[in-house]
Amino acid sequence: MTAASSGDGHPVVDRQAWIDSRLEHLEAEKALTRQRDELSAARRALPWLEVTNDYVFDTPDGQASLSDLFAGRRQLLVYHFMMGPGWVEGCPSCSFWADNYEGTQVHLAHRNTSLVAVSRAPLTEITAYKERMGWTFTIDDDGRVYLTYQTFSRGLDMVNGAYHMLDLTAAGRDEDGLDWSMQWLHRHDAYT
């Protein structure tokens, strides 16, 4: 059977042709999942760096050390949320990522892991923005940046559920032709 066109270049086929195509693609997806599992295992096997600096964070409960941020758990995820002193709003991209952190704390805690975001802005400014955005996860003022594991550019994609959902659609992220990939993005309360 000859495939018709949807008008936007996508072929339209009968059910069996679609199933055949989907199963072929599923093999590639499963291979990628296995490869990601191997890469994650290799990341966990990287050597550790002993942190000897005495970091102090301003939190809603007072000052806290780096070890305090673990909240009695074995593991700590720290996200550097870009919001500088005097900023009224946090970075739009960081805000997009932060939207994906909301609601994860209870699940992470049950895997012995804490999640905090740190920012250079004073705690009062962070708190005001956090309240505006409706977030409940922890954001603290560290006054400095430190590194445990670091990634750049698309290295954080795996923790952004919204991007993964878009990747499942026919249009995907639909960022081709933009000056930069996230040019379309707004803070969640700023879309028209």
Domain boundaries, the chain: 14-46, 48-192
| pLDDT given for residue 107 in this prediction | 86
| pLDDT given for residue 151 in this prediction | 67
CB 142 within 8 A of CB 119: yes
> Residue 76: which residues within 8 A CB-CB, separation 6 or more?
69, 70, 113, 114, 115, 116, 148
Give start and end residues of each alpha helix (H) in 120-189: 123-133, 161-167
CB 79 within 8 A of CB 99: no
Q: Is 123 exposed, middle or buried (0-12, 13-18, 19+ CB in 10 A)?
A: middle
Q: The pTM is what? A: 0.79
| Residue in the block written with tokens 């909301």 | 102
How far apart are the two ends of the chain, measured CA to CA in Å? 44
Between CA 81 and CA 171 the distance in angstroms is 29
**Alpha carbon of residue 25 to chain centroid:** 26
| pLDDT given for residue 145 in this prediction | 38
Q: Which range among 106-110, 143-147, 168-172 shows the weakest confidence by mean pLDDT?
A: 143-147
Q: What is the mean pLDDT of residues 69-89?
A: 91
Between CA 155 and CA 3 the distance in angstroms is 37
Interval 16-60: pLDDT, tens? 999 999 999 999 989 988 998 898 889 888 888 888 888 899 988
Q: What are the E-state strand segments in 60-132?
A: 62-65, 75-80, 113-119
CB 108 within 8 A of CB 162: no
| Residue in the block written with tokens 């018709």 | 4
User: CATH code for 48-192?
Assistant: 3.40.30
pLDDT band of 144, cuts 50, 70, 90: very low
Mean pLDDT, the chain, rounded, equals 85
Q: Which of 55, 70, 60, 54 is nearest to 123 (CA)?
A: 60
CB 27 within 8 A of CB 35: no
Going by the DSSP 8-state scheme, the letter that residue 48 receives in this structure is P
